[in-house]
A and B are shown apart, each in its own frame.
Chain A
């Protein structure tokens, strides 16, 4: 279960690519794990390393020394498209990323991220372009993410408001997960099932 999501301030990791798919975030060969440990090392593996294990030259953005410890990723449209693998947000969180600012996330990725304490912050294309410009001008610019108030504080007292699903927001702020909520619906589920016979039986015929 994730920790309660609190406000934080961080410099940013710029990744100005569109349609970053989950095969890039965690290549499939790292999906043979049976737990969640060690996935930070798999993050963007094939964009970071050559076949012989050496770092790519020029280095992928995550491997630039000044990127260490940064917790906000800024990415192009449709981040996290493709495979449903939850290993993608697991790996981002293991690396230390807590928020992804983009113009849209793929639906399954967005749901997976929110369940793991990773906040997708969806902004319009003009604001995203401004943010990329800001980071280009000042690579060490610091942003503050305030989920409670649903704003990203930019330098110069500028605020960037964002929308978030109210239920997901509550879960994030409490550091709780949806399982408890669903288990709390047991009476409703029992009643529904009593009125709706099973559609299929999967046991061998």
Chain B
């Protein structure tokens, strides 16, 4: 039983990281309707920034997180403005290939700056955890991750539901033309969404590397893809969906690694996604809109 709970805790903490990435992904997808393959690489950049601030400048962890968020937010706005904005009217494939180009660019830029050899990332948080919790593998990082994830989700729900900007985002994701006619600045709203998504990616990057300390230019790709899977799982565009999807994905992955096969863990995660999509084509919390004839 203890062992099972330990795996569950692992799954929950990793799932919370996925959920944070998925929340950012789902916001961006909801508004831009594009598979943003560069999202995972923004995570990696965030982690590198945090790594530099703590290791090279010797500043406290919290400063490094703020720096990572600031850099990634700016990066998100820049990517959107330079690469995606000129393609607003283009087909989905052109945007997809551009996103892949951006992903290559970030990975190779990171390799030029920081080298291909993995950096050893030191966890940003460490405080004593009570013994009875530690017995179940609960670490300081996992506590912080789960709390951060909950806070972020609640914050996003409030933001999209109550604030003017958030409502504008929902309007733009429904219908860009109509939103524009209602006086919403569509371009600014989209930039804002990318900013939020990238800020979340930065936080996720720092937390991700606090778990698995190996930091290299490709660190972000697989978690990025898996987090997108989580977002699809929960129903793309839905905030609670991304949260639930991320957590479930983390747990499924942890259990698969523990009880079935380490080398097939990703396959099992993907297989579950496929089954979910076949049963519920729009994901767990998604809305299925049939084509009008």
Q: Indicate, yes or no, whether A interacts with B.
A: no
Chain A positions near chain B (C-beta within 8 angstroms): none
